[in-house]
Amino acid sequence: MNHVLRSSRVLLGGGADPIRIVPADVQIQGDLIVGVAAPDPDRAAQDLGERLITPAFINAHTHLAMGYLRGLATPAQLQGNVVEDLYFQIESHLQAGDVRAFSRIAAVESALAGVGCVWDHYYFGREVADALLDVGLCGVVAPTLQDLSGPGVAALDLQWQAMVDMTADARLAAAGIVTALGPHATDTVSSDLWTRVARHSADANLPVHAHVAQSVEEYQRSLIEHGCSPIARLRREGALDAAPAFLLVHGLYVDRSDLTLLDPQRHLLVHCPWSQVQFGFPARVGWWRQAGLSMAIGTDCGACNDTMDVQQELRLAAWGGSYSATWSAEADAFGRDGNAETARALDRRRSIQVTAEIPDATIDWLLNSVWAVPGSAHPRLPLGAIAPGRRANLLVFDTDHPVLWPGTDLAHALTQTTVAPAIHTMYVNGRPIATPGDHQRGLLGHPDLRAWRQEANGRMRGLMARAGVSP
């Protein structure tokens, strides 16, 4: 399928290039963008007028299937390690078909939010890939690898082989579904397995996608068992330096000395703001930026975020640092003795914190985290920019929609408002994923969605019964 999309508003740039919105013709051949040029009235094109064309969003960290756990954890459980204390127990009863059924629902939810590609890390990786095929999304699938603890220990060899088989699967590659190595975390993966991961990632030219320093338990275990932080351990064992790209997810317990061990050309940190608010605390991303490291944004799973809409994460990523002023010493002083002096001190604290955490080029930094940064992290799946050689995963926005009004700064709107209602069409691999011009209703009217939902509901009830948990 060869065609040209034309608009007076095409978002170009990203990465090292400033983001800008200009008139352009976007030339698509098959699943790739092959050219971007000034509009040519002599060139046959689908003229979209003033509708905005952008890359489709990329969610850099998901567990699609875990939406079935949404709302299950109580506030009391969230005070502990809910992953180990609750989720592992339920996940030990998962069946392969459960993962495909649950992942389909989250993939549709993702598509509704304009997400054209996910980096997914979960058990039964082939089932995740098949769910992406069912719905029509691109993805990087990292089957969970564990050998010390967790539900995946007994299935390690099966998941490793699934990763190898999926890497060689031409049908998946053609659909924009590729693989990464998915060691679960530094405290559930042995040194021997990390060595195996490092060797294979280098030989096969595959990224590594892992939870790193995500909990205090993981950090303490690393200190006790290895005498160093999780990052330092990975560096010492060669795991950091082998992969073409290493996505370190969460990084809550990563200090400034750890950051000096990371290579800006190879390592990127993945921030999941709303998940971290509930399950821990927001990572100190200002330190990452000051160290010159790239950041990608993910939602994590529906169970700890309640949405697969990665664009909605951007506001908290930008302004979350200001929340710290509420619990600062200056706030305590104002609470004890509210007067003009303590009020000014509190305001200064807020200004200092915002300046420390928010980069100068806020808009480009945020948009790069859901486009250019994760879109450049896999050598076999170039995405995240409207440029020749990138996959044609695109969003077309109705700029007359009220959520984008008045439209004077559309790049700002893409980071600060709710843009999903304004999606006119989403292209994945060069083709509309739903009805052009009626994206939301087209997806919700998918002929298989009702059957998918019924299967997911039945499988959820069966899983909870096997696990002895009341949903």
Residue 73 has pLDDT above 70, yes or no: no
Least confident of 153-162, 241-250, 315-324: 315-324
List, by residue range, all CATH 2.30.40.10 domains of the chain.
2-55+384-444
pLDDT tens by residue, 129-141: 999 999 999 999 9
Distance (Å, rounded) from C-alpha 87 to C-alpha 449? 26
Least confident of 77-91, 233-247, 291-305, 343-357: 77-91
Is CATH 2.60.40.420 the right assignment for the domain spanning 2-55+384-444?
no
Beta pairing, strands 32-37 & 423-428:
unpaired
- Give mean pLDDT, residues 360-365: 80
Binned at pLDDT 50, 70 and 90, residue 80 comes out as low
List, by residue range, all CATH 3.20.20.140 domains of the chain.
57-308+368-373
CATH topology for 57-308+368-373 is TIM Barrel (3.20.20)
From the list 216, 154, 215, 148, the residue with the least C-alpha distance to 183 is: 148
Binned at pLDDT 50, 70 and 90, residue 63 comes out as very high
Count Cα neighbours of 2 within 13 Å in the Cβ-side half-sphere. 5
Distance (Å, rounded) from C-alpha 417 to C-alpha 325? 24
Q: Which residues contact 107 (CB under 8 A, 6 or more apart)?
A: 64, 118, 131, 132, 134, 135, 137
Q: Supply the pTM of this predicted model.
A: 0.96
357-361: Cβ within 8 A, 24+ apart: 357/284, 357/285, 357/286, 357/320, 357/321, 358/286, 358/318, 358/319, 358/321, 359/289
Structure tokens at 255: 């200090």
Structure tokens at 379: 């050598």
Binned at pLDDT 50, 70 and 90, residue 324 comes out as confident
Binned at pLDDT 50, 70 and 90, residue 351 comes out as confident
Distance (Å, rounded) from C-alpha 155 to C-alpha 153? 5
- pLDDT at position 377 is 97
pLDDT tens by residue, 375-433: 999 999 999 999 999 999 999 999 999 999 999 999 999 999 999 999 999 999 999 99
Where do the DSSP E strands lie in 15-56? Answer: 17-29, 32-37, 46-47, 52-55
Beta carbons of 266 and 235 less than 8 angstroms apart: no
Binned at pLDDT 50, 70 and 90, residue 358 comes out as low
Distance (Å, rounded) from C-alpha 285 to C-alpha 270? 10
Residue 360 has pLDDT above 60, yes or no: no
Residue 79 has pLDDT above 80, yes or no: no
Q: Which residues contact 321 (CB under 8 A, 6 or more apart)?
A: 286, 353, 354, 356, 357, 358
From the list 83, 44, 60, 10, the residue with the least C-alpha distance to 314 is: 60
Mean residue pLDDT of the chain comes to 94
